[in-house]
Structure 1
Amino acid sequence: MTRQSIGKGRIEAFSDGVIAIIITIMVLELKVPHGTAFADLMPTLPVLLSYALSFVYVGIYWNNHHHLFQAARGVTGPIMWTNLHLLFWMSLIPFVTSWIGETRDAVAPAASYGLILLMTAASYQLLATMLARHDGPQSRLAEAIGNDRKGMMSLGLYATGIAISFVSPDAGLAVYVAVAIMWFIPDRRVERVLSS
């Protein structure tokens, strides 16, 4: 280890709390339909779908964040700030979720949603890199992360989705859904290293 480590417990508990608040904010944005028939749900369908996609994304980050910190030996002050950087971008997910749900098939919300996903992914990559560097090149975490092709491919797909959103917002959203599906299958790299 290159710097003195700080315990991981507080950063994990704080991150879990922030992520729980993010999900709470998203669900509070859902509005009940004014009618009593199933047909009255139809106008709220875009909002429900954007909520479901964002919920999956937040869940993916929560899951991977948990595994990342299980494998890490400890944290430093700069790592704590990098974790806050990740949480900052994640905290904007409810805002763009609401915007994209309310403004179906519009360029700016679809591109903005992709931008927040891109920045969240980039900040997660930075956090993982800093934790692996702190633990050292021979550490379990560094071995698990490796060259992270899946993470780098995600960044490229988000950038592609943003660009496509300017031509077709629905096609841009389809790219974001594809990335979520790609990550919904859990990343087993860290789990394999932890279990060995």
Structure 2
Amino acid sequence: MTEPVQESGESSSFGQERDPARVVAFSDAVIAIAITLLVLEIHPPSDTSHLLHGLAELWPSYLAYAVTFMLIGQVWANHHIMFDHIRSADRLVLFLNTVLLMDIAFLPFAASVLAEAFRDGHGQRTAVVLHGIAFELAAVLFNVIWWHARHDRRLLATTIDAAGVTAISRRFQLAVVWLGVGILLGALLPVLGVAVISAFILYYWLPIAGEIARARRRRDGGGRA
């Protein structure tokens, strides 16, 4: 038995509920700009007479670019996962998502600081912590938005069941812990902090099994009909 879908435009304690399509479109635009700006922080060597050596010395910029690009890519993917199941957005969702986008727009700067610190050999701990905190804030905001949306299932669509909600919640909660550990380790040993956060990238591209269980059951059931 499916839950009744409330009409878009219904009012709540947090204002009128709206179709989240524009939220997703605006978010995609901000994320696309932020992820594109990353490459602008990689400046070509000024001394072209030793170009190969100069390019090799830019390895901190390549590292910061790759790690941050893939992490922002995960932010984009998880943002879609979340809003695939949010049927309407009230003003609190709009506000929290705006704060999330403000944090995402900051990430190219954090990546630039990280690259500069490793290139100069100074301030590496501070740079890793700054970079990690920027993503930690994004992880916290994901959890808050999802918690608010799933509260009483008022903002959620019927495309996801309780098991799927729990699976996404656990994935988002794990991100807070994982990045937090990376920040703490980075404050002690910068290279280890970067390694832990990089390992986070590999794990988080795996599918959320609980999220797709209902869709699989529905597909299998339709095949037998």
Q: Same fold (TM over 0.5)?
A: yes
Counterpart in the other structure of 2:70: 56
- 1:69-106 CA-to-partner distances (Å, cap 9, x unmatched) read 12211111111111112112212211110000111161
Counterpart in the other structure of 2:117: 103
Counterpart in the other structure of 2:81: 67
Code of the residue aligned with 2:110 in structure 1: it is V
Code of the residue aligned with 2:180 in structure 1: it is A
Counterpart in the other structure of 2:147: 129
2:33 pairs with 21, 39, 43, which one? 21
Deviation at 1:38, TM superposition (A): 3.4
CA 142–126 in structure 1, closer or farther in 2 if over 3 Å, else same: farther
Q: After the TM superposition, which of the residue ranges 102-111 and 183-192 deviates more from structure 2? A: 183-192
Question: Secondary structure of the residue that 2:57 maps to in structure 1?
Answer: helix
Counterpart in the other structure of 2:208: 187
Deviation at 1:139, TM superposition (A): 4.4
* Contact 2:86/2:157, CA 8 A, preserved across alignment: no
* Contact 1:68/1:141, CA 8 A, preserved across alignment: no
The answer to whether structure 1 residue 30 and structure 2 residue 50 are counterparts is: no
Q: Following the alignment from structure 2 to structure 1, what is the Cα–Cα distance between the partners of residues 180 and 83?
A: 27
* Contact 1:100/1:110, CA 8 A, preserved across alignment: yes
Q: Following the alignment from structure 2 to structure 1, what is the Cα–Cα distance between the partners of residues 215 and 96?
A: 23
CA 92–194 in structure 1, closer or farther in 2 if over 3 Å, else same: farther
TM-score scaled to structure 1, two decimals?
0.88
Q: Following the alignment from structure 1 to structure 2, what is the Cα–Cα distance between the partners of residues 118 and 32?
A: 31
The answer to whether structure 1 residue 11 and structure 2 residue 23 are counterparts is: yes
* Contact 1:132/1:142, CA 8 A, preserved across alignment: no
CA RMSD in angstroms comes to 2.3
CA 30–189 in structure 1, closer or farther in 2 if over 3 Å, else same: farther
* Contact 1:89/1:119, CA 8 A, preserved across alignment: yes
Counting matched residue pairs gives 196
Highest CA radius of gyration, 1 or 2? Answer: 2
Counterpart in the other structure of 1:149: 170
Q: Following the alignment from structure 1 to structure 2, what is the Cα–Cα distance between the partners of residues 193 and 55?
A: 31
Deviation at 1:5, TM superposition (A): 2.4
The answer to whether structure 1 residue 40 and structure 2 residue 54 are counterparts is: yes
Unaligned runs of 5+ in 1: none
- 1:31-64 CA-to-partner distances (Å, cap 9, x unmatched) read 1233374333111111111111111111111112
Of structures 1 and 2, the one scoring higher in RCO (CA 8 A, sep 6+) is: 1
Identity, % of aligned positions: 24
